Amino acid sequence: MGGLVSALLVLASCSSGDSGAPAPAERTSEAPPLAKLTAKPADDATEVPPGEPVTITVTDGAIDEVALTNAEGKAVAGELAADKLTWTSGEVLGYAKTYSYNASATGSDGKKVELKGSFTTLKPGSTPRATINPTDGASVGVAMPISVKFPEGKVTDKAAVEKALKVTTSAPVEGSWAWLNAQQVDWRPKEYWPAGVKVTVEAKLYGVAYGGGAYGKSDLSTEFTIGRNQVVKVHTPDHRMDVYRDGKLFASYPASNGRDNDPNLNTPNGTMIVMAKEEVGDFSNPRYGYTNVMKKWAVRFSNHGEFIHENNENAANIGKANTSHGCVNLLEADAKAYFDSALIGDPVEVTGSKANMPTTSDVYDWLIPWSQWQSMSALN
């Protein structure tokens, strides 16, 4: 009997829930939030280009709020996308400044997440200024190029700069940028501009790396209008200067051009543009033995030394012989009439000379064939 009791006790012990086996672990922690916020630039980033937008993005959720502030606590404007997946800053940042961001979002699981951080923008080695021409509100001739210049330093990253330039026209116009040198890039149409076209130029240069530690100082823009189509044509053996409006002869003036027998004194062949107008110009040139020579109604069409101007002292040769040192001489009344009709940017086409215009004048865009012009773009 005692053996039976012992057996039953052993059996009961083996079948008891208090056998000492480990119990299932209790679930004391929740699943992590699904939403994930990401910032660009990342926290603690340095040397951040100020022209690049700051973006905050979320996955598996929607952005609730984003605050981007500068070191003084001033908010930087930005916009949340309609789908609430991305926030993008809407203004450029300063050079060598620290910015902080604070973002929150709600995940698809209903859980909130936050993201905080800060970054510092780059300190440029220099911020050279740039200029743009034509200026706002100008009315110019049909050969006028757009010119962006960098007078305070050379651009080595031409592609970066060119990407920041945009030309918008009120009617379709084929054209291209071309780098004339490391401090000047021009845009011109393939053919002369259509008359009456309105042109807008944007140069988003602030924050753009020019190379060599230089960055753009500020953005530039201009809006101008192309005037009537007027083209001056000078075929030097004819001793005349013809002015065409919309392809039709508008005026024809007797002229005396540069001396035929001396290529150094020719009025050189090529397409130039009206660059400047002076009611009285100083044509003194000690090299050729004359000083204090003032002529009326002077229209410059190159910086090589060529003008269209009055020269009544040469009246005996005007319309008969080429006797000037390269300028186009007209009688005073004709010079005044032409002066009054001319716009900066009008083309002046010269043919028939022994010499060609060298590409040393400030504006020689139209001396370059179109295919070559296109090849001078940094983006081609």
110 CB burial (10 A radius; 0-12, 13-18, 19+): exposed
Q: Are strands 328-330 and 307-310 parallel, antiparallel or unpaired?
A: parallel
**Active-site residue, 325 included:** no
Cα separation of 131 and 267, whole Å? 31
Known catalytic residue at 309: yes
**Cα(243)–Cα(240) distance, integer angstroms:** 10
Give dist(CA 13, CA 147) in Å, integer: 100
CA distance 170 to 129: 29
Which position among 14, 235, 304, 327 bears the catalytic label? Answer: 327
β partners of residue 276: 300
Report d(CA 11, CA 75) in Å as an integer.
Answer: 77
Compute the distance between CA of residue 289 and CA of residue 240 in angstroms, rounded to an integer: 27
CA distances from 32 to 35, 110, 169, 308 (A): 9, 11, 54, 81
Which one from 14, 235, 239, 309 is the annotated catalytic residue? Answer: 309
Cβ 323 vs Cβ 363: under 8 Å: no
**What are the residue ranges of helices labelled H in the chain?**
2-15, 158-163, 332-341, 370-375
Enzyme catalytic residues? 309, 327
